Amino acid sequence: MSLNRRNFLASTAAFAGATILPRVALAADTIKMGSILDTSGIFDAYGKPMDMAMRLAVDEINASGGLLGKQVEVSAYDTQSDMALYSQYGQQLTRQDKVDVVHGGILSASREAIRQTMRKTKTLYFYNVLYEGGVCDRNIFINGVTPAQQVEALVPYAMGKSGKKVYILAADYNYGQITARWIQKFVADNGGETVGIDFFPLDVSDFGSTIAKIQSVGPDLVIAPLVGGAHLSFFRQWAAAGMKDRIPLASTTLGVGNEHKVLTPEEGNGIMVAYNYSQELDTPENAAFKEKWAAAYGDSNLIHEISVSHYQGILTWAEAVRQAGSHERDAVIETLESGLSINGPAGKVTVDPKTHHAVLDVHLMEFENQGMKVVETLPQRQPIDTQAVCDLEANPNDNTQYEIEI
């Protein structure tokens, strides 16, 4: 997932080695927040902007007087894109640093590497990334879109612009496999047919034979939940083969790490996506956020979907602390379960008490000149996939990642 970092992440290098946020007149008694992200290694194109968003959010909180009269003190760890270090640093945050809350994790594997540690130590945990859905655990709050929020919107839009015959290309791990099944469901629900499906390990970068196979099948649309730098090669090879203007493309992942800024307009224009955030959102909240980011870092072009989701997750936690009048875990959870909302750069974020997932605006978009042009906004979409299997109001002790039956 290291997506030509020199092109669009060079200015983040100054942050890569930092582990503790600068302290500005910290009170003796602080609220301690843990951060655990891949700010180096093959996933740093995702992790560095998330780290920057975290720092921006905490700086804003502290500059406004902190929370409950206390400054937020952050212990931040770089996992170097190594899953083993997630486990190590998760233990360190909870048992040695004794933080009050942890925000972090990018891949589902990284979330699951630390989730049980957070639960056992009763350390509140926020996972702020789009994922495959199904996690049901009262100790965790999840702020990224799930397939029912995203795929259910994208599929009929993309089919309406192309046709009923759909070919799926997906990453060969749990996210890609589960998302591919959701795509098949929503294709069928909208009167379409899945005419082919292929899965690819994350290190596959040669798609020549796959493109030839798709040409022989002749679908109306290709939907590609592909992941990472190697898989980015598909979109380049597709355009080079002259296919981009013949068969439309949609994706559930392309652009969440600013991959569309690596593709040329000739390679990317017209690809359809659906996310919670676009830099092109024309709202006062987004304009203010980009101004703050530019003032802090000098360049707002590094902002992407999951960095904004991370920022919104931290602001959601902070608002819950304020409303609870306490930073203690149980009080914050109960306040979040009241259906708390904030207004963030991507729109309104509302906590669903039943699942601890977020109710979010989803924006249907098309790539245009290395940007994401918003075509339509679908407000406050519920995580109905996870709601079908998770009810923490009725079963507060549940601790399962359900594989939702589709």
Q: What is the pLDDT of residues 329-343, one digit of tens each?
A: 999 999 999 999 999
Record the pTM.
0.89
Average of per-residue pLDDT across 300-313: 94
Query: Can you give the residue range of the structural domain that contains 296?
Result: 5-145+281-361+381-401
Question: Is the model's pLDDT at 371 over the cut of 80?
Answer: yes
Question: Is the model's pLDDT at 237 over the cut of 90?
Answer: yes
**Same domain, residue pair 303 and 171:** no
Contact 128, 312 (CB under 8 A): yes
**Same domain, residue pair 78 and 121:** yes
Query: Can you give the pLDDT at residue 335?
Result: 98
Among 226, 243, 275, residue at a domain's last position: 275
Average pLDDT over the chain reads: 91
Average of per-residue pLDDT across 308-324: 98
**Same domain, residue pair 305 and 324:** yes
Query: Can you give the pLDDT at residue 4?
Result: 38
Among 253, 275, 297, residue at a domain's last position: 275
**Same domain, residue pair 153 and 258:** yes
Does residue 290 lie within any of the structural domains? yes
Spell out the SS3 assignment of 335-374: HHCCCCEEEECCEEEEECCCCCEEEEEEEEEEEECCEEEE
Does residue 374 lie within any of the structural domains? no
Give the separation between CA 89 and CA 309, rounded to whole angstroms.
22
Query: Can you give the pLDDT at residue 2?
Result: 32
Q: What is the pLDDT of residues 185-217, one digit of tens each?
A: 999 999 999 999 999 998 999 999 999 999 999
Average of per-residue pLDDT across 75-81: 96
Question: Is the model's pLDDT at 85 over the cut of 80?
Answer: yes
Question: Is the model's pLDDT at 352 over the cut of 70?
Answer: yes
Does residue 366 lie within any of the structural domains? no
Vertex 243 angle, CA 200 and 176, to 5°: 25
Total domains in the fold of the chain: 2
CATH number at residue 260: 3.40.50.2300
**Same domain, residue pair 66 and 177:** no
Does residue 371 lie within any of the structural domains? no
**Same domain, residue pair 300 and 394:** yes
Does residue 376 lie within any of the structural domains? no
Question: Is the model's pLDDT at 227 over the cut of 60?
Answer: yes
